[in-house]
Amino acid sequence: MKIQDIQNDIIDEFSMFEDWEERYQYMIDLGKTLPLIDPKYKTDDYLIKGCQSKVWVHANMENNKIVFTADSDAIITKGVIAILIRVFSNQNPSDIIEANTDFIDNIGLKEHLSPTRANGLVSMIKQIKMYAIAYQTQLN
């Protein structure tokens, strides 16, 4: 599935909820479905800088697609990274690099996060794109 299609699905899913309390609960539920990161990647080397809570992201290249795993010690943040992993995992590096993240504004996520969590969201996206750039370089 293409990144834009996944983003559109997420926009549709979030539009089904009446208020942000329901959306937060949905994000918490998404966080519970996040594939487990191998404990060996829960180190400072994989920690996202700029997040209020701890978020670890690991990337691995499989069949020219990047597979991400992640975890967080905070339930809302774990839901946020679960959304990003859903969008960007199993995609090729160039598509990740070129992808826009307008869907975050479309679902209203950034405006409903605290300023420190919103900064963390930006840091998560930046790290995902940095992994993609690194893997793209290896492919060239």
Active site positions, annotated: 51
Which residue shows structure tokens 């990274």?
81
Q: Which tokens hold the place of 47?
A: 């920690």
